[in-house]
Structure 1
């Protein structure tokens, strides 16, 4: 199942994403450029850092160091801007006292742009940290995330500046366009249905019956394929050994047959799906994979489809963490490691 997601990556690299989504603004580029140059001036001068500490104490500002942007660390640019705005008065005084760095003092227009940009991006920072999880974040989170962005995190507020509103609107427009085609819509609807935390909450009511029918059809196909793969030999192997007859077995055989015709496989699947949709709501912090592992005996057919869809990761964060682990293992001093050895070391690093 090929499906490019990466919501977390897009939001964490939100400034790169802003230019990709058509929000590229020379004011933002200039303000961020001024911010980076000013931070660099303190990074390369211990005297300015010393003066900064003195001014911070005089102005009653927190004794914080400035943060430099790191291309490989998601969210570092937003943190750099936030810290820059926090220490703006001390930065202006220290830079303004030196003729060589006086031109780096930000103007009020630059500060206004940085504040507007930071206000649009800041609410996403803590959220994306949670969304970057490996074990509990599945593709089923995408539709709820988009709904949360639209109704809360990226909802324009009355006190927002026009630039802030523009950034929020364009981020939302880009994300909606990213998942608007039919194939992705069908996958997201099915994955959301199979997540016990969401089920039908974020599925369009007009599409619900279609999604249910498709779920029944896919479960039938999965059950048939599982039976065919098992074959008659597997049935013989799984046949329990013959046990001694008990008294209850005789009553069971002689009991009058009042049952109706046995249900068809399709009816059993539909009943199972209807029962699943009627279960009480569960806690939002519940791990859906753990939930299905626990309730698989109750929904043996539906759990097959849940394994198929909920195994799709929602973000590229887990795979990129694996790359980082690999970079720490295959160093300059260990460049002769064989590929299979590297695979084992990475596996042990991530699972032990």
Structure 2
């Protein structure tokens, strides 16, 4: 009688279920063979009250995923066609099967001033990462999406091959600011007065992390002290892991000391003096963590915040009368290292981006002599926009040469053009300064009509990411796709699945 009362799913519902499974497989990076799992089929049968339902084959789901990929790719392609400027980020990744992949993401503002971010490719590479090969790969990606004439900047880490490749490209290069800050912290902690205290922390964390029995004893002590929290292991390639290790050791100092006292061991807990040192170190490293997290976002403007945040970091690292000798050495080493690395950033681009952000257009993060030069640079850029475009039939050398500086003004300009540009600048500078909690994207969306010329520049400069974190996030996603059981996955399938997952998650 139960079988008689069942009503099988109609074809329309079956198609919706199949499409939902394909979307779930793509978004969550599930292996295709999940459709052969009888457990999934049973769940759908119970939910639909249709015990005759059978899951479609792997080939069918694969076909749906491919169709979904083509549909979403067409949407991204259409969005890129409608924008005038695009910013790239790029980085390399090595899979479990020891294959190299280049991840590239695109960033731009849509007509509503919402910052969009899309994965363009996770491309398997065969050649060595020499500068010429790297530059050609970036151009290949730009040509594939037909945006080679729209790409204005490329954000990468500070690897030498990336810097050399950027010199050969017609894009402005933006070194990853988070990498720079992290490297300055690493240099400042090397052979520093904190070596002994940090070494003890690493040994204590390793003692409990690598032994289940020791971990159980620590958990008992944490329960007694009403502070149950796992310890954090320092990883040299993971940003802010040193800070997280210090914070958790500080918060669990008493449970750690009591757990170590239960057995005779060569692991010693940090002394009160060493813990005091680490507390002072934690205070300054917390600012570095804030900077790296602030500049690593994709949904908000980050490029214009680089100089203000570095200025804040510089003030934090100023030596005070209350600083002990070990903090003075750390701060001085950090400040000197950051100053040298800051000179290697694209400082001209960052200054223009800062001026185009309504929160920072007073340019207080710069010295007074530099402020006038920034507005001169913007004046030159506006003047360049006013000039007529080159004839279509004019021959352009290949590859196009990058401008040596953004501050080059054209000598041939009429007085009317100069007056118009000056008025445009004055109108923008006369606007009230936006608050720190205000969103520059929302500000430009409501003021674009009054400052159309400046808005064109803002779309170009503010869309540039301050870090290469977006392309690195692709590799976190790739790690879910290229697992040990799927290490032999074809490179084109890796590219399809990672990009599709990125596009679908961006729509949520």
Q: TM-score, normalised by structure 1?
A: 0.76
CA-CA distance at 1:301 after TM superposition = 1.7
**Secondary structure of 1:105 counterpart:** coil
Report what 1:118 is aligned to.
Answer: 282
How far is 1:195 from its partner?
1.2
Q: Is the 8 A contact 2:187 2:334 kept in 1?
A: no
Residue 273 of structure 1: how far off its partner (Å): 0.8
2:503 is equivalent to residue 348 of structure 1? yes
Partner residue, 1:8: 178
> Contact 2:295–2:302 at 8 Å: present in 1 too?
no
Partner of 2:349: 187
1:98 corresponds in structure 2 to 263
Aligned residues: 313
Which whole-Å CA distance do the structure 2 matches of 1:154 and 1:343 have between them? 40
CA distance in 2, matches of 1:44, 1:70: 15
Matched, 1:322 2:488: no
Bigger CA drift: 285-294 or 162-171? 285-294
Match of 2:175, SS state, is coil
- The alpha-carbon distance between structure 1 residues 33 and 221, as it changes in their structure 2 partners (threshold 3 A), is same
Of 14, 19, 24, 2:190 maps to 24
Counterpart of 2:326 in structure 1 is 163
Deviations 1:208-236 (A, max 9, x none): 333222212211212325x44799xxxxx
Alpha-carbon distance in structure 2 between the residues aligned to 1:63 and 1:275: 57
Secondary structure of 1:40's partner?
helix
**Cα distance 1:46–1:146, how it changes in 2: closer, same or farther (>3 A)?**
same
Post-superposition shift, 1:83? 1.1
Q: What RMSD in Å do the two structures reach over aligned CA positions?
A: 3.0
Structure with greater strand share of residues: 2
Counterpart Cα distance in 2 of 1:276 and 1:215: 12
Alpha-carbon distance, 1:279 to partner: 0.4
Are residues 1:219 and 2:411 paired? Answer: no
Residues 18, 167 of structure 1: 8 Å contact kept: no
Counterpart Cα distance in 1 of 2:504 and 2:325:
47
Contact 2:240 2:289 in 1 (8 A): yes
- In the aligned structure 2, how far is the partner of 1:56 from the partner of 1:263? 75
2:243 counterpart of 1:78: yes
Change (3 A) 1:342 1:51: closer
Over 4 Å off, 4+ runs: 107-110, 227-231
Q: 2:130 aligns to what? A: none
The answer for the alignment partner of 2:313 in structure 1 is 149
TM-fit CA distance, 1:206: 2.1
Task: Report the counterpart of residue 282 of structure 1 in structure 2.
Answer: 434
Measure how far apart 1:349 and its partner are. Answer: 4.1
Q: How far 1:317 sits from its partner (Å)? A: 2.1
Q: Please state how far the C-alpha of 1:158 moved relative to its aligned partner.
A: 4.3
The corresponding residue for 2:490 is: 336
Cα distance in 2 for partners of 1:318, 1:210 equals 32
Quick one: structure 1 residues 340 and 118, their matched pair in 2 at CA, closer, same or farther if it must change by over 3 Å? closer
Q: Which residue of 1 aligns with 2:455?
A: 303
CA 1:125–1:210 in structure 2 vs 1: closer, same or farther (change >3 Å)?
closer
1:294–1:340 distance in 2 versus 1, CA, 3 Å: farther
- The CA distance in 1 between the partners of 2:372 and 2:290, in whole Å, is 36
**Deviation (angstroms), 1:157:** 4.4
Deviation at residue 350 of structure 1 after TM alignment? 4.6
- State the Cα deviation string for residues 278-301 of structure 1 (Å, max 9, x = none): 001212233324433442222222
- Against the structure 1 CA distance between its residues 164 and 229, is the aligned structure 2 distance closer, same or farther, given a 3 Å change threshold? farther
Structure 1 runs not aligned, ≥5 long: 232-261
Question: Of 411, 417, 426, which residue of structure 2 is paired with 1:265?
Answer: 417
**Structure 1's 123 and 184: CA in aligned 2 closer, same or farther, altered over 3 A?**
closer
From the superposition, tell whether residues 327 and 53 of structure 1 become closer, same or farther in structure 2 (CA, over 3 Å).
closer
1:37 aligns with 2:199: no
Instruction: Indicate the structure (1 or 2) with the bigger Cα radius of gyration.
Output: 1
1:169 to 1:136, Cα distance in 2 relative to 1, 3 A = farther
Q: Which residue, out of 54, 59, 67, partners 2:220?
A: 54
Partner of 1:133: 297
CA contact (8 A) 1:325 1:349 kept: no
Residues 296 and 302 in structure 2, CA contact (< 8 A), matched pair in contact too = no
Q: Deviations over 1:88-139 (max 9, x none)?
A: 232223223322x244333456435433432331343345333322122332
1:197: which partner in 2? Answer: 359
Label 1:196 to 1:343 Cα distance change in 2 as closer, same or farther (>3 A): same
Indicate whether 1:175 and 2:175 are aligned. no
CA distance in 2, matches of 1:280, 1:86: 44
Going from structure 1 to structure 2, the CA distance change for 1:9 and 1:286 (only over 3 Å counts) comes to: farther
Contact 1:51-1:94 within 8 A present in 2 as well: yes
- Relative to 1, partners in 2 of residues 1:130 and 1:340: Cα closer, same or farther, differing over 3 Å? closer
